[in-house]
């Protein structure tokens, strides 16, 4: 365990946050000696890849860094395979590994930053697919009791960028040690209709794409839109795509005929947050060290030296503009840890 640990290199926003105490967990057994401290009601933060997190300048509690790394084929069937991975495995590296083995199912979620253990918390997704579509089960250590619990797909209560683990009463209460996925071994249905995937495949003259082709297209699209966090600190999509009523959408359509949308269930419509923000003139705008990325308005970037408070203030201005122009309330996708904490 280390005191006053600088987390700047462990969060993609590049916030120079200091943790009062920090420990890296490489095996679940290492948590047993920490249980007395974990059960003392002192603040505790579970850290994965730090990619969907906005840290305060100082965190007064213990930061548990999930570094449990392994990948294992648990069971193979004729057309399916169950793969289990440690919570600390890099998500994109895991996706690439599955594709190299000839396993399909994760191709649309290539290049999403973060770790395997953080993926169910957020129910990560991209280009029409979500983690819940391939999720089988996970194992997690309940910090308050020290017991290992197994969660099924239903137990996780997955929603749009939401899960059981994101609820206020459960947040930072479970360290996810492993996740199991049900993937395909043979040709399966590919999802290429969402976003620019089909356009990218046609540009490459690929008429019968493989999962590897879809992943390559997704990687190229994401790299063209999203900044490298090593150059511009960011957490990817800062806001969720809002879901509004069909009636509200039709009303907006009369005033803004070009407004894009995607189906989101009965009488519900999903509107791209990036489009709304762009139409409000925020793309490429900057205030001090914080700004909207020039190629994707959905991404807020740290140009260097920004604090969490400055990033939150910038995002609030964007939310206000979207609300005033479209009557839509944006919701932050990034998990912002309280910035009022002081040493």
Q: What are the tokens at 313? A: 């203030």
The domains located in the chain, with CATH, are 2-66 (3.30.43.10), 71-184 (3.30.465.10), 233-336 (3.90.78.10)
Measured between alpha carbons, how far is 312 from 332 in angstroms, rounded to an integer? 10
Distance between first and last Cα of the chain? 18
User: What integer pLDDT is reported at residue 100 of this predicted model?
Assistant: 96
pLDDT at 43: 84
CA-nearest of 271, 295, 267 to 282 is 295
Residue written as token pair 């059981």: 164
Tokens found for residue 34 = 């920490």
pLDDT of residue 316: 97
Phi, psi (rounded to 5 degrees) for 85: -135, 150
User: How do strand 53-54 and strand 58-66 relate by DSSP bridges?
Assistant: unpaired
Tokens 């939401």 -> residue: 162
pLDDT at 238: 95
Active site residues: 161, 237, 333
Q: Is 97 left (phi over 0), alpha (psi -120 to 50) or beta?
A: alpha
d(CA 28, CA 74): 19
Residue pair 33/23 in contact by the 8 Å Cβ criterion: no
Number of helices (H) and strands (E) in the chain: give both, helices first: 8, 20
- Cα gap 325→271, rounded to integer Å: 14
CA-nearest of 276, 249, 312 to 55 is 312
Q: Is 218 buried (19+), middle (13-18) or exposed (0-12) by CB count in 10 A?
A: buried
CB 217 within 8 A of CB 128: no
Spatial neighbors of 151 by CB under 8 A, at least 6 apart, are 120, 137, 138, 139, 140, 164
Q: Please report, in tens digits, the pLDDT of each residue of the chain (343 residues total).
A: 899 999 999 999 999 999 999 999 999 888 888 877 777 767 889 999 998 899 999 999 999 999 999 999 999 998 999 999 999 999 999 999 999 999 999 999 999 999 999 999 999 999 989 999 999 999 999 998 889 999 999 999 999 889 999 998 898 899 999 999 999 997 778 988 877 898 899 888 998 899 999 999 999 999 988 898 989 999 989 999 999 999 999 999 999 999 999 888 889 999 999 999 999 999 999 999 999 999 999 999 999 999 999 999 999 999 999 999 999 999 999 989 864 433 3
Q: What is the DSSP string of 134-183?
A: TEEEEEEEETTTTEEEEEETTTTT-BTTB-GGGSTTTTTSEEEEEEEEEE
Q: Could you give the CA distance from residue 199 to residue 261 in angstroms, rounded to a whole number?
A: 18
């Amino acid at each position: 365990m280390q005191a006053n640990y600088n987390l700047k290199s462990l969060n993609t926003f590049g916030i120079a946050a200091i943790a009062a105490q920090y420990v890296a967990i490489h095996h679940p057994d290492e948590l047993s000696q920490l249980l007395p401290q974990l059960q003392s009601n002192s603040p505790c933060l579970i850290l994965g890849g730090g990619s969907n997190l906005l840290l305060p300048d100082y965190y007064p509690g213990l930061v548990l860094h999930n570094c449990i790394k392994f990948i294992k084929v648990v069971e193979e069937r004729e057309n399916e395979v169950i793969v289990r991975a440690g919570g600390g495995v890099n998500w994109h590296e895991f996706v690439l590994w599955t594709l190299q083995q000839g396993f399909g199912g994760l191709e649309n979620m290539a290049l999403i930053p973060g770790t395997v253990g953080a993926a169910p918390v957020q129910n990560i997704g991209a280009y029409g697919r979500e983690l819940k579509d391939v999720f089988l089960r996970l194992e997690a250590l309940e910090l308050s009791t020290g017991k290992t619990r197994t969660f099924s797909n239903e137990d996780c209560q997955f929603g749009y960028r939401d899960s059981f683990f994101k609820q206020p009463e459960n947040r930072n209460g479970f360290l996810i040690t492993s996740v199991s996925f049900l993937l395909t071994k043979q040709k399966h249905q590919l999802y290429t209709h969402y976003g620019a995937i089909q356009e990218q495949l046609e540009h490459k003259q690929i008429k019968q794409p493989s999962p590897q082709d879809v992943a390559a297209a997704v990687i190229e699209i994401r790299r063209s839109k999203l900044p490298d966090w090593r150059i511009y600190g960011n957490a990817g999509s800062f806001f969720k795509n809002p879901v509004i009523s069909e009636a509200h959408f039709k009303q907006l359509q009369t005033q803004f005929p070009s407004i894009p949308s995607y189906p989101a269930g009965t009488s519900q419509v999903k509107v791209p947050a990036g489009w709304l923000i762009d139409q409000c003139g925020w793309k490429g705008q900057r205030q001090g060290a914080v700004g909207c990325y020039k190629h994707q308005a959905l991404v807020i970037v740290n140009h260097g030296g920004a604090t969490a408070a400055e990033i939150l203030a910038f995002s609030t201005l964007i939310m206000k503009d979207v609300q005033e122009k479209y009557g839509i309330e944006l919701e932050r996708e990034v998990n912002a840890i309280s910035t009022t904490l002081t040493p």
